[in-house]
Amino acid sequence: MASNGKVKLSSGAQKLETARLVFIYVVCVILTVLCLAPFWIMLVNSTRSSASIQEHAISFIPSKYLMDNWSKVLKQSFNPFTGFKNSIIVSTCSTALAVYFSSLTAYAISVYEWKLKNAFFSFIVGVMMIPSQVTMIGFYQMAYKFGWNNQLFALFLPAIASPMMVFFMRQYLQGALSHEIIQSARIDGAGEFYTFNKIVLPIMKPAIATQAIFSFVSSWNRLFEPMVLISADEKKTLPMMVSLLKGDTYKQEFGCIYLGLFLTVLPLIIVYLLLSRYIVAGVALGSVKG
Amino acid sequence: MGKKKTLNYAKYGYIFSIPFVVAYLIFSFYPIINTFLIAFSDLVGPARKDYNFLTGDIFENFKKVLDNPIFKKAFMNTLKLWICNFIPQMVIALLLTAWFTDTRSKVKGQGFFKVVFYMPNIITAATVAILFSTLFGDPVGPMNDLLKTLGFIDKPVKFLTKANVAQNIVIYIQTWMWFGYTMITLISGVIGIDPAIFEAAEMDGSNRFQTFIYITIPCIRTIMLFTLVTSLIGGLNMFDIPKLFIANSGPNYATYTTSVFIQSKAFEGRNLRNEAAAASLIMFVIIVICSAALFYIMRDKDEAEARKLRKQALKQAKLASKGV
Amino acid sequence: MKKFVAGLLAFCMMAGLVTACGKKEDGAVETVEKKDTVKTDDGKIVINLWSFTDEVPKMVDKYIELHPEFGEKYEVKVSITPTTDGAYQPALDTALTGGGADSPDMFCAEAAFVLKYTQGDMSMYAAPYSDLGIDVDKDIADAQIAPYSVDIGTRTADGKVVALGYQATGGAFIYRRSIAKDVFGTDDPAAIADEIGSGSQNWDKFYEAAAKLKENGTPIISGDGDIWHAIENSSEAGWVADDTLVIDGKREAFIDISKDLTDNGWSNQTQDWTEAWYADMAGTSETPCFGFFGPAWLINYTMGEHCDNTYGDWAVCPPPVGFFWGGTWVIANAASSDEVKAGVGELIRWITLDTSETGLQYMWANGTLNGEGGTKDSVASNTVMAKSNGELEFLGGQNMFDVFVPANEYANGKNLTQYDEKINSIWRDQVRQYTAGEATRDEAIENFKTGVAGELGLAV
């Protein structure tokens, strides 16, 4: 970095520099407010009574109905603990499977020279583009035919084949992996599988972390698919339970709904913050040139 | 980066791809084949499992979809919603990338900002939809209240019955949800650039703007391509927000997208599954064409040239070996 | 890309191999593949119950509590999928057609989509009540079930009853007593009935009342959605006949009525089920409206929950035109085995046709299902309502059955189609466009037709 060898700035340029920084901070602060406001609103509304939410949907001052809402939530068919458990199982498994096998597949495509390699890669890029809505009909029918309904694995096993993630991982590997490392591992007598697990995976850690966040978030938030496949109460995920809260035909307990929504997003916030240092550090990927 | 030929290791390429292929065959292949077949069949209604292929005009379903004014509208909406959210999203993301990766002056607290800007992406689409329809509610709603207090209006505005307002809200939501994601991806790309290049540029006296335009952007071209392609795929499949925000379709189909069309054809009303399948194949073809065009426009000319040369060399080597 | 195309071709060839052509039998009602009885480890027969709320599951709990011998023989597994996110019907349809151990033996359908399961595309999965060991004709006559409810639950293909409800959802006009006193000088239901033209089959008197209320600064109703159910149900024809869209004159008139309500300031222009609508019930909006159109459940479950401030300030009178709104029908799966059907039949009979004081409906009408003092509701059987107490404190002590029993008679179950849910949502959207001044009347109707043709593939 050239940060130490900075050229001295003239006072006019310095003013410009300050103005630029002020502008940057103003924009960033506005964006921060826009990004965080919904979380705050959710949190505040989960402490408010339904009646006051009806009057003024948005408030920035918390109220005192949190426990009230909590007991109402528990009284309905909402079991946050079961939901949490199932959501964790589905999201963790699908994230782990997606990340591991996508890395493996990407590794196969970018390191080895094999006949069908390019065709396979084109295939992956191709299937990445298939709209997911209607393939669902076939998937549901198949799931019922084989008795995969009410099985959590039907929700996470398909993650093994995640074309979009393979595509990303491949782009990353192309830039980050040097063949010398693999070669030297081979010389040391390491098996290919060992090399992948012990040497390549650690190199991919930053990419894995970002992709893990994306994958965890999207699988945690999935709603329609589990709703069609899971009918047993003990297998329901958190978003499904929030949907049950909303689904009362007669009345809307807004306070409870917001509490449910907040409970759903809370674990995500925690997981995200844990992995966020990779986002801060940034994932180097792609075209290292030179 | 000369790749070494590792022919003896080729089998591992196959072995390591097996899990993906097997999972794909089990979970996706049948559904996709199914969709493909249904598109040429008479499958209508929720109860039927068996169907007959169309005997007369086998492309009847495709024609019906292409002639359908609602589908045309959905397609134009999808395109509009995607382009209008992609451009600001890219602009904001690029701007932030330029600021956060600037080697000359570091923006303090950028770690915090980076973390926060991705946050909108972790809220469920359902929640976002609820929040925004509440926000723009009428006759009472925070936005109406605000405008009234500020004196801009004296009668509540029916935001959600106005087509352009509904569209703009969806565009805003999409931009808001995805600019952080795009920014993170772009920053990853910039970090991958050799710092020496920037140093050299600074030595040559190029200013920030010039550095960004002439050095950074060309260097992250592949990442931008990735972003563009994934965003195109995501955008043309846009579903959650349009579906959940204002009862399926918005005012007079203003936020009706092709994915909502497909889903509603397949699962609602008459369950016209054959037309839904045809519509999804049409969208698939459109996405493939658009992506191919993007790949072509943004292709790395040097790289392509190099690949061609390599291929030729390989061929000659093969020929030579056969000759021997 | 070339390779990709090659892959696609291979793909198509594979497709050819998987081809499966089936034949559909032409008969009155298609027969469905039977499913086997599922038993728990301790030998109980499993009944899968699917619903979109916990209402029916709670009734079943009560039945088992009252009849322990049923609980020894059967195990009821409950699955609730709400309708709000649009997953209930896809899930139910896939489960019914997919069959298997987890597929429903007994399921609930709401007024908005019940026709699909009783007369429409999924009706072959509905078992006639007579197959469940229910003497259905005699029971219906004894219980005096409202005719609209039977009409909806009767399969047109073979004329058999396949679904009945426990509620009767005939509608009334529910108004604020205090406002009535201010404007009309009385809160007596008979007088107000006169003011709004109850039973007149047109909206003239209602408009007059609206104008009178307007002078007082009070809108007569909250939004056009409130009046829609009354208009929808008063039409002669349903939306669809012979795969062609039919726009009944009375339904078309809704677009003008809606416009009038807005232009004259006769409504607060709310949409049902939004915060503003609830605020009108609670009396916390700027100009709380005079009343709502709705059945007994709207009073007891919705308004009761939202009207702390206006509790006791309400009364009901008959509406200008008869209608019904909502309701849940209970259906048995035709695919279930006979031993399962016997159990389901027992539950269904208790829920829909038992008129005794230990039957569900008696408890439902008197609010005693979960102990004394529970929520009272109007029920399907007039016999039960005749011997029940419908007095509500919420209505200032008025006996709601006085209004709702006749209301159920006026409701019409013959102008519905299985596509109503979709068509209504398109229609309501276009009416809103016109009312809000975003489209002209002709444009709105044209767009409505385009929407119906485009989404449902019906001729217009």
Question: For C35-78, how does the pLDDT look when each residue is reduced to its tens digit (9 = 90+)?
Answer: 889 999 999 999 999 999 888 999 999 999 999 999 999 999 99
Q: Is the distance from CB of C393 to CB of C310 less than 8 angstroms?
A: no
Q: Quick check: B115 contacting A, CB < 8 Å? A: yes
Phi, psi of B68 (to 5 degrees): -75, 115
Interface test with C, best of B161, B164, B240, B299 (most C CBs within 10 A): B161
> Looking at chain B, which residue has its C-alpha nearest residue C223?
B139
Same domain, A112 and A219: yes
The distance in angstroms from the start CA to the end CA of chain A is 17
The distance in angstroms from the start CA to the end CA of chain B is 30
pLDDT of C438 over the 80 cut: yes
Instruction: List residues bridging with C105 in a β-sheet.
Output: none
pLDDT tens-digit map of B55-75: 888 899 999 999 999 999 999
In the block, residue with structure tokens 């008969």: C27
Q: Is the distance from CB of C109 to CB of C163 less than 8 angstroms?
A: yes
CATH 3.30.930.10 applies to domain B69-323: no
Dist. CA C86–CA B249, nearest whole Å: 13
pLDDT in the model for residue B248: 61
Same topology for domains C45-168+327-352 and C172-323+414-456, yes or no?
Answer: yes
Please answer yes or no on whether C15 and B53 come within 8 Å at the CB atom: no
Cβ contacts of B137 on chain C, cutoff 8 Å: 274-276
- Supply A289's token pair: 């040139």
Where do runs of H (alpha helix) occur along C301-359?
A: 304-306, 338-352
Q: At what angle do helices B258-267 and B69-100 cross, to 10 degrees?
A: 130
pLDDT in the model for residue B82: 95
The minimal CB distance from C450 to the residues B36, B69, B162 is found for B69
Please answer yes or no on whether B194 and A269 come within 8 Å at the CB atom: no
| Residue B14 or B318, more confident | B14
Report the mean per-residue pLDDT for chain A.
83
Contacts of A74 (CB under 8 A, 6+ apart): A80
Q: Which chains touch B (3 or more CB pairs under 8 A)?
A: A, C
Same domain, A28 and A85: no
Contacts of A52 (CB under 8 A, 6+ apart): A59, A63
- Which range in A81-85, B197-201, C160-164 is most confidently predicted, on average pLDDT? C160-164
Q: Which domain holds residue A28?
A: 11-66
pLDDT of B307 over the 80 cut: no
pLDDT of B310 over the 90 cut: no
> Looking at chain C, which residue has its C-alpha nearest residue A227?
C87
Largest Cα–Cα separation, chain C: 83
Q: Which chains touch C (3 or more CB pairs under 8 A)?
A: A, B
pLDDT in the model for residue A9: 57
- Supply C130's token pair: 């007579």
pLDDT in the model for residue C2: 46
- Which range in A56-60, B305-309, C64-68, C266-270 is most confidently predicted, on average pLDDT? C64-68
pLDDT band at C23 (very low <50, low <70, confident <90, very high): very low
Give whole-number Cα distances, C407 to A5, C169, C364, in Å.
Answer: 88, 8, 18
pLDDT in the model for residue B324: 47
| Residue A79 or C158, more confident | C158
Phi, psi of A219 (to 5 degrees): -75, -30
pLDDT in the model for residue C305: 79
Nearest to B126 by CA among B251, B235, B245, B234: B245
Please answer yes or no on whether B32 and A130 come within 8 Å at the CB atom: yes
Q: Is the distance from CB of C317 to CB of C193 less than 8 angstroms?
A: yes
Q: Which CATH architecture has domain C172-323+414-456?
A: 3-Layer(aba) Sandwich (3.40)
The minimal CB distance from B103 to the residues A1, A217, A221 is found for A1
CA atoms within 13 A on the CB side of B192: 29
pLDDT band at C111 (very low <50, low <70, confident <90, very high): very high
Q: What angle is formed at CA B86 by the lines to CA B80 and CA B87, rounded to 5 degrees?
A: 95
Q: Is the distance from CB of A208 to CB of A226 less than 8 angstroms?
A: no
Please answer yes or no on whether B46 and C12 come within 8 Å at the CB atom: no
pLDDT in the model for residue A74: 80
Q: Is the distance from CB of B268 to CB of B156 less than 8 angstroms?
A: no
Q: Quick check: A109 contacting B, CB < 8 Å? A: yes
In the block, residue with structure tokens 């037309």: B275
For residue A48, give how far its alpha carbon lies from the nearest alpha carbon of chain B (Å).
15
Dist. CA C324–CA C411, nearest whole Å: 5
Which runs of E-coded beta strand occur in B68-201?
none
Is A233 a domain residue? Answer: yes
Q: Quick check: A52 contacting C, CB < 8 Å? A: no
pLDDT in the model for residue C253: 93
Question: Average pLDDT in the C86-108 region?
Answer: 89
Q: Quick check: A36 contacting B, CB < 8 Å? A: yes
ipTM of model: 0.84
pLDDT tens-digit map of C246-259: 999 999 999 999 99
Domain boundaries, chain C: 45-168+327-352, 172-323+414-456
pLDDT band at B193 (very low <50, low <70, confident <90, very high): confident
> Lowest-pLDDT range, A55-59, A217-221, B233-237, C123-127?
A55-59
One-letter identity of residue C248: D
Q: What angle is formed at CA A156 by the lines to CA A151 and CA A157, rounded to 5 degrees?
A: 90
Sign of CA dihedral C228, C457, A224, A137: positive
- Supply C139's token pair: 């029971």
pLDDT band at C6 (very low <50, low <70, confident <90, very high): very low
- Supply C115's token pair: 């026709």
Contacts of B100 (CB under 8 A, 6+ apart): B107, B110, B113, B114, B183, B187
pLDDT in the model for residue B238: 87
pLDDT in the model for residue A249: 60
CA atoms within 13 A on the CB side of A256: 24
Phi, psi of B192 (to 5 degrees): -75, -10
Three-state SS sequence of chain A: CCCCCCCCCCHHHHHHHHHHHHHHHHHHHHHHHHHHHHHHHHHHHCCCCHHHHHHCCCCCCCCCCHHHHHHHHHHCCCCHHHHHHHHHHHHHHHHHHHHHHHHHHHHHHHHCCCCCHHHHHHHHHHHHCCCHHHHHHHHHHHHHHCCCCCCCHHHHHHHHCCHHHHHHHHHHHHHHCCHHHHHHHHHCCCCHHHHHHHHHHHHCHHHHHHHHHHHHHHHHCCCHHHHHHCCCHHHCCHHHHHHHHHCCCCCCCHHHHHHHHHHHHHHHHHHHHHHHHHHHHCCCCCCCCC
Same domain, A49 and A79: no
CA atoms within 13 A on the CB side of C376: 21
> Looking at chain C, which residue has its C-alpha nearest residue A234?
C79
Dist. CA A242–CA A246, nearest whole Å: 6
pLDDT of C318 over the 50 cut: yes
| Residue A286 or C387, more confident | C387
Q: Quick check: A265 contacting B, CB < 8 Å? A: yes
- DSSP state letter for B269: T
The total of structural domains in chain A comes to 2
Residues 165-224 of chain B whose Cβ lies under 8 A from any Cβ of chain C: none
The minimal CB distance from C84 to the residues A147, A243, A251 is found for A243
pLDDT in the model for residue A244: 80
pLDDT band at B291 (very low <50, low <70, confident <90, very high): confident
Question: Average pLDDT in the C299-323 region?
Answer: 89
Domain boundaries, chain B: 69-323
pLDDT in the model for residue C14: 43
Instruction: List residues bridging with C292 in a β-sheet.
Output: C174
The minimal CB distance from A131 to the residues B7, B141, B284 is found for B284
Q: Which chains touch A (3 or more CB pairs under 8 A)?
A: B, C
pLDDT in the model for residue B149: 85
pLDDT tens-digit map of A3-62: 444 455 567 778 888 898 999 999 999 999 999 988 888 889 889 887 787 777 777 888
Q: Quick check: B302 contacting A, CB < 8 Å? A: no
pLDDT in the model for residue B302: 64
pLDDT tens-digit map of C210-255: 999 999 999 999 999 899 999 998 888 999 998 999 999 999 999 9
Same domain, A196 and A277: yes
pLDDT in the model for residue C24: 39
Interface test with A, best of B100, B131, B160, B311 (most A CBs within 10 A): B131
pLDDT band at C31 (very low <50, low <70, confident <90, very high): confident
CATH class assigned to C45-168+327-352 = alpha beta
Question: Average pLDDT in the C18-30 region?
Answer: 48
Report the mean per-residue pLDDT for chain B.
85
3-state secondary structure of C12: helix
- Supply A107's token pair: 């590794």
Q: Quick check: A5 contacting B, CB < 8 Å? A: no
- Which range in A244-258, B244-258, C377-391 is most confidently predicted, on average pLDDT? C377-391
pLDDT band at C357 (very low <50, low <70, confident <90, very high): very high
Question: Average pLDDT in the C180-188 region?
Answer: 93
Cβ contacts of A73 on chain C, cutoff 8 Å: none
pLDDT band at B188 (very low <50, low <70, confident <90, very high): confident
- DSSP state letter for B47: S
Dist. CA B148–CA B143, nearest whole Å: 8
